[in-house]
Structure 1
């Protein structure tokens, strides 16, 4: 009986030591998370240009567009890395441009960067509904599109980098577009994009 009581003392000390260590590690992680709490980036479309739009030869559609997008990093202590970054344009939930790969991007702490990808140029198969809808909207003078970014995102705080997280950004764009118009087109309302990480 005395042997069992003698061995329970060191076991209890080890268990107490492990519990205290885990508690301190948890408190440290909580404090670090509160200090460096990373926020999602913010995307806003600030300009658009159309260099070609041919929706009259279904089932193929060809368009070339350029969008000016302001990306803001709201984090004061964390920088952002965008990897496998790509963009495409959709209309009525169907892609009307091919997916374009963008160069990897590093964004410093609490900064903004502007990107202006040229998207399209290659014909894409579309449904007759999309082709007809775009032709009608163009004749009406108002077209609603979605600019979509996809990629992988990492946060960096000091020497610590997080794992990759999937990034999906959806920007709803309503623009004034008349048939035959080439170049800058007016945006009829700018709203921040939806960012999912």
Structure 2
């Protein structure tokens, strides 16, 4: 039995106002959770993925036979651009291409006009540039010529552009894009077999 003077605690029922507030808080938290899940799913489905590029072909004809270096020789390449997005298109401004041998610029120029790439689509990017170097008087030509004679020259193709993503009925802001393709050519100036269809790195 309870000690004298000690009273058992009484059960106090919550007032209707308190129960109403608790119910509204529970409903509000549930709605916030549901909205968060819906927003996350929409974000995953509408989040743009960057385009993918792969090197298809490259050549510098008659490079090994030239006595004046690479100056004025044609530089040809083909790259495939793929849009991996299911429902998002991509607007490309003009694409500029640059070819490097080490740090030496070999050729550069515009290779495409602005274009639109639909979802899950592919666009071939082909370019023919005119080499501006290295000339025969450039020490870089001595190294390049020796590597051509050895049958393997490491080179790099750089593509730059500005892109926008078309998400439903609105377009995103412009993003600067840089694509780098590292590869090697044979002694005759053609692309080595193992480099064909190789993926390029894409930076935003």
Kindly tell me the number of residue pairs found equivalent between the two proteins.
Answer: 168
Counterpart in 2 of 1:112? 122
Task: Provide the secondary structure at the position in 2 that maps to 1:177.
Answer: coil
Counterpart in 2 of 1:92? 102
Counterpart in 1 of 2:150? 140
Counterpart in 2 of 1:50? 60
Q: Is the 1:53–1:62 contact (alpha carbons within 8 Å) kept by the matching residues of 2? A: no
Q: Which has the larger radius of gyration?
A: 2
Counterpart in 1 of 2:193? 188
CA distance, structure 2, for counterparts of residue 91 and residue 145 of structure 1: 5
CA distance, structure 2, for counterparts of residue 177 and residue 100 of structure 1: 27
The answer to whether the aligner puts 1:164 opposite 2:174 as a matched pair is yes
* TM-score (structure 2 length as normaliser): 0.71
Counterpart in 1 of 2:72? 62
Which residue of the other structure, out of 89, 94, 103, is the alignment partner of 1:79?
89
CA distance, structure 2, for counterparts of residue 32 and residue 161 of structure 1: 16
Task: Provide the secondary structure at the position in 2 that maps to 1:61.
Answer: coil
1:55-80 deviations in whole A, cap 9, x for unaligned? 6447x833311111111111001111
CA distance, structure 2, for counterparts of residue 151 and residue 73 of structure 1: 15
Q: 5+ unaligned residues in a row in structure 1: which ranges?
A: 1-19
Q: 5+ unaligned residues in a row in structure 2: which ranges?
A: 1-28
1:13-38 deviations in whole A, cap 9, x for unaligned? xxxxxxx9xx79x9476443211111
User: 1:81/1:52 Cα in 2 relative to 1: closer, same or farther (>3 Å)?
Assistant: farther
Q: Is the 2:155–2:182 contact (alpha carbons within 8 Å) kept by the matching residues of 1? A: yes
Higher strand share: 1
CA distance, structure 1, for counterparts of residue 62 and residue 108 of structure 2: 14
